[in-house]
Amino acid sequence: MKADPSIFRGYDIRGVYPNEINGDTVYAAGKAYATLLSRENPGKRLSVAVGRDTRVSSPELHTRLIEGLLECGVDVDDLGLVSTPTLYFGVGFFGYDGGLQVSASHNPKEWNGVKMTRKNAESLSKETGIAEIATIIEKEGFMISPARGTLKKREGILAACVEEAVRTVSPSRIKPFKVVADAANAMGALDLAALFSRLGCDFIPMNFELDGTFPAHGIDPSKEENIKYLQEKVKSENADLGIAPDGDGDRIFFVDEKGSVVPSEALAAILAEIELEAHPGGAIVSDAGPSRIVEEVAERFGGRRVRSRVGSSYMKEAIIREGAVFGGEAAGHYYYSFPCGIFEAPMLLVLKLLARLSEKNISLSEAVNPFLKYAHSKEASVRVNSKEEVSSKIETVKKIYADGKQDFLDGVSVEYPDYWFTVRGSNTEPLLRFTLEATSKEIMTREAERLRGVLTHSTGSASILSEVEGLTN
């Protein structure tokens, strides 16, 4: 069948419903996924878990996806409404051969998609399965099964996930904080409600009613217009902190008691320190963007920072390869290693952070302050006219900054003594994304503007976007 090639992205299948992605597309994707897994596991009766988010289009896509799997002889456990991390946990903890989540993460309500894993919650990327699934769909090379798969409902995955988290970090270690959480009517509401029911905190939920039209505000908390409501509520309630998960619950952001958003690089450094205290000498994986404070934390404990390309599949591969104890991305993904796999575990993260604040008897802002050593620009984007122009601009950066130390792990990273930056192309759109870090705010502002000028020069309709557009991971 003919499917819009743009939906097959770096880390998932995703597009606007129903023009780019619809029931027929997802039905074919289910059959193609089953075909891929069957090729990799010849002769095995496969069992997969399938979940969905609360978008208006998700029930239809969820049903059609399952139908495609069943027709190819795959046994399906329907988890129903779950966050993406809960699905990942279920795949690993209960030993499924794979898992699929119907969701478009933090994208607006008009979007939908499918995230896919193999066993142990190993994410499929374009290089490790998604491109092959696209080819199977195009050629209609679906496996033919002599027997239809079985379908059953599976309850209790979230409860098991919470139980595992509180087994790792006992609620008795956590003070009775006042905590505000804004779930934006999306999937993080389920996880946070279940978690805080086990804690002795004064918990104030905002927008916890699941609603796929997302009436309160957008579901990407990395954007100021979406997290500002949480900031205001934290201050008005005199709360100790605020929590904001994204649309499918796999990214998480925090607001301190003063109403300030905790920078992702500072949060990653705190979490890395917690893990390295328990595992001195260990490796920490972070994305290729500038994050010197994480590197310094790793070195302080005799460990090392390992840089990875942006994206969950690349991060997980690096964590496995390096035997790392933790991974963090600037986009708000934080990865933990379990015996059953490597995946985002926001509930465990919350427990570890609250336990840290409790044991040190400090506020969140006091915990963050030591890690604000460097001035860090927010990730910004420049829109250009084509993917070819993205490549051309990166080549221009290489030439203009040729006197700096360069590497090309993910786009181009350039380092000077008092500032360093990364420029990379979007995996899905003709966009250049850039981040810059420096030893002072003045240097950061000056050099970010200079880099902005390099990227926007002679691009015609190029424009700087104050917020990151359409992150795919």
Closest CA to 101 of 4, 2, 29, 16: 29
Burial class of 160 by CB neighbour count within 10 A (0 to 12, 13 to 18, 19+): middle
Nearest-5° angle of CA 448, CA 312, CA 467? Answer: 35
Tokens of residue 360, six digits: 């040190």
Q: Which residues pair with 212 in a beta bridge?
A: 55
d(CA 337, CA 346): 13
Q: Name residue 187's amino acid.
A: M
Catalytic residue among 105, 123, 308, 381: 105
Q: Which residues contact 408 (CB under 8 A, 6 or more apart)?
A: none
Residue 283 · residue 298 · CB < 8 Å:
yes
Residue 337 · residue 319 · CB < 8 Å:
yes
DSSP letters for 260-285:
PBPPHHHHHHHHHHHHHHHSTT-EEE
Tokens of residue 355, six digits: 């336990």
- Other CB atoms within 10 A of residue 418 CB: 10
Q: Is 105 a catalytic residue?
A: yes
Residue 184 — left, alpha, or beta (φ > 0 → left; ψ -120 to 50 → alpha)? left
Helix axes 84-93, 188-196, angle to 10 degrees: 70
Burial class of 166 by CB neighbour count within 10 A (0 to 12, 13 to 18, 19+): middle
- Other CB atoms within 10 A of residue 411 CB: 24
Q: Which residues pair with 433 in a beta bridge?
A: 381, 424
Q: Name residue 395's amino acid.
A: E
d(CA 169, CA 194): 15
Q: Which positions are annotated as active-site residues? A: 105
